[in-house]
Amino acid sequence: MNSNHPELLTKEELRQKLNLPSTRKIDYMMKKRMIPYLPLGHKTVRFDLSKVMAALEKFEMKAVGQK
């Protein structure tokens, strides 16, 4: 794939990359707008892993004393 165009993942592929037991957490994160996704049809969505990871970093819990 062209480096200008990121590889887009299905919900199942994203689940595997994030090591989640099911896609329900992904559905929850989509509903709460915690992660970006591309709606391509009525039930079809795709994810850019780098953008998802950047969005999830905002929720990282820092150790006490760190900024």
Q: In this structure, is residue 59 part of a structural domain?
A: no
Q: In this structure, is residue 36 part of a structural domain?
A: yes
Q: In this structure, is residue 67 part of a structural domain?
A: no
Query: Mean pLDDT over residues 52-65, rounded?
Result: 88
Answer whether 47's CB lies under 8 Å from 11's CB. yes
Q: In this structure, is residue 16 part of a structural domain?
A: yes
Of the pLDDT bands very low, low, confident and very high (cuts 50, 70, 90), residue 67 is low
Domain extent, residue 26, equals 8-53
pLDDT of residue 3: 61
Of the pLDDT bands very low, low, confident and very high (cuts 50, 70, 90), residue 61 is confident
Q: In this structure, is residue 1 part of a structural domain?
A: no
Q: Considering its fold, how many domains does the chain have in total? A: 1
Q: In this structure, is residue 64 part of a structural domain?
A: no
pLDDT in tens, 8-45: 999 999 999 999 999 999 999 999 999 999 999 999 99
Q: In this structure, is residue 38 part of a structural domain?
A: yes
Separation between Cα atoms, residue 60 and residue 1, nearest integer Å: 30
Burial class (CB in 10 A: 0-12, 13-18, 19+), 38: exposed
pLDDT of residue 60: 87
Q: In this structure, is residue 61 part of a structural domain?
A: no
